[in-house]
């Protein structure tokens, strides 16, 4: 009797094993993504027809399918000292590496000081300028307004004659502040964006705002119009302030929705971690 029971148990175990194998096999065959889409790929590799412009920030390019969309207008938002100018320079340096002509339009920084700061990070902009590939323009927000209203101007001349492929504007904040009324601000922003797109170069516009504590209407208008929005955070986690990067939106891109820690260091500039931040920045946010 006991022998019979043991034998029956063995048979049931065997049957269960075979059934389990079959179920797993079938599940693998008909495997679907988390939300049911069988086409969802685990790797963020550009598979669509959009041409990409690498930012030069290795782990950022990895999470945005290889880079920014070619000819797109991108917004980089962050508070004071977050590394916005370094990020923008790194994006242009990557262009130089690819033998592209690039333009840095600055509203605030003095050229000599800026070049010295960037040299500290290992980027010789003076040499790049002498080589005829890097262009630096000190500009005023009013001049941008004139350029939009009357056409032409120094920026357009450089972009068209030097065949600029990448342009960084540091920063767009003062330009937006020229307008009191939201309607006018939106109108001028749209005009600027469409002008940038008509030049067929990829642009990176910097906007000064701490994404955790500052919610300005002007920023919202820009953020709506831009093709992509990258946020930089710089917040005190424990004893130290830490830096984080988030791709908030990027049209036509299956980008990561995580937040990634980053550092700024000599020789590398903005260095984004491969691993996302496991915690949350929610508690630091002012609603």
Ligand X SMILES: Nc1ncnc2c1ncn2[C@@H]1O[C@H](COP(=O)(O)OP(=O)(O)OP(=O)(O)O)[C@@H](O)[C@H]1O
Contact residues for ligand X, defined by CB under 6 A: 78, 80-86, 117, 120-121, 208, 264-266
Decide whether 234 or 277 has the Cβ nearer to Mg ion: 234
Binding range to Mg ion, per CB under 5 A, among 7-15, 80-88, 133-141, 150-158: 80-88
Q: What are phi and psi of 253, to 5 degrees?
A: -130, 135
Helices (H), the chain: 2-29, 58-63, 84-97, 111-120, 125-130, 141-150, 154-161, 173-176, 182-198, 217-225
CB neighbours of residue 80 within 10 Å:
9
CB of 86 to Mg ion, least distance (A): 8
Decide whether 84 or 255 has the Cβ nearer to ligand X: 84
CB of 213 to Mg ion, least distance (A): 18
Token representation of residue 263: 């550092």
CB of 117 to ligand X, least distance (A): 6
Decide whether 178 or 264 has the Cβ nearer to ligand X: 264
Which of the choices ligand X, Mg ion, none does residue 265 contact, using the CB cut-off of 5 to 8 A by kind?
ligand X
Instruction: Give, in order, the Cα–Cα distances in Å from 23 to each of 11, 12, 20, 28, 39.
Output: 18, 16, 5, 9, 22
How far is 33 from 27, CA to CA, in rounded Å? 12
CB of 209 to ligand X, least distance (A): 10
Decide whether 50 or 121 has the Cβ nearer to ligand X: 121
Q: Is the separation of the CB atoms in 251 and 193 below 8 Å?
A: no
Decide whether 148 or 168 has the Cβ nearer to ligand X: 168
Q: What secondary structure letter does DSSP report for 256?
A: -
Decide whether 85 or 218 has the Cβ nearer to ligand X: 85
Q: Which residues contact 83 (CB under 8 A, 6 or more apart)?
A: 232, 234, 243, 262, 264, 270
Given 55, 72, 85, 219, the residue binding Mg ion (CB under 5 A): 85
Q: Is the separation of the CB atoms in 230 and 245 below 8 Å?
A: yes
How far is 3 from 11, CA to CA, in rounded Å? 13
Q: Return the closest-CA partner of residue 54 out of 96, 84, 101.
A: 96
Told to check if 106 binds Mg ion by CB under 5 A, we report: no
Q: Return the closest-CA partner of residue 77 out of 211, 188, 189.
A: 211
CB of 112 to Mg ion, least distance (A): 15
CB of 102 to ligand X, least distance (A): 17
Decide whether 65 or 170 has the Cβ nearer to ligand X: 170
CB of 81 to ligand X, least distance (A): 4
Residues engaged in binding Mg ion (CB under 5 A): 84-85
């Amino acid at each position: 009797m006991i022998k019979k029971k043991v034998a029956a148990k063995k048979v049931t175990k065997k049957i269960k094993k075979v059934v389990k194998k079959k179920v797993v096999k079938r599940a693998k065959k008909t495997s679907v993504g988390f939300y049911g889409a069988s086409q969802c790929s685990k790797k963020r590799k550009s598979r669509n027809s959009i041409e990409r412009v690498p930012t030069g920030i290795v782990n950022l390019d990895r999470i945005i399918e290889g880079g920014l969309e070619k000819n797109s207008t991108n917004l980089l938002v962050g508070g004071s000292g977050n590394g916005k100018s370094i990020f923008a320079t790194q994006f242009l340096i990557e262009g130089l590496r690819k033998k592209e002509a690039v333009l840095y339009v600055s509203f605030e920084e003095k050229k000599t000081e800026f070049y010295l700061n960037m040299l500290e990070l290992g980027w010789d902009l003076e040499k790049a300028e002498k080589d005829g590939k890097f262009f630096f323009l000190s500009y005023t927000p009013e001049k941008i307004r004139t350029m939009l209203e009357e056409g032409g101007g120094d920026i357009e001349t450089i972009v068209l004659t030097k065949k600029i492929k990448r342009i960084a504007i540091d920063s767009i904040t003062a330009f937006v502040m020229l307008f009191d009324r939201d309607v006018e601000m939106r109108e001028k922003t749209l005009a600027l964006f469409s002008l940038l797109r008509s030049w067929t170069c990829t642009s990176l516009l910097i906007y000064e705002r701490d994404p955790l504590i500052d919610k300005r209407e002007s920023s919202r208008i820009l953020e709506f119009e831009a093709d992509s929005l990258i946020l930089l955070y710089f917040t005190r986690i424990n004893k130290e302030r830490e830096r984080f990067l988030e791709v908030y939106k990027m049209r036509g891109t299956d980008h990561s929705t995580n937040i990634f820690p980053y550092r700024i260091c000599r020789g590398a500039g903005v260095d984004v971690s491969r691993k996302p931040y496991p915690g949350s920045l929610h508690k630091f946010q002012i609603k």
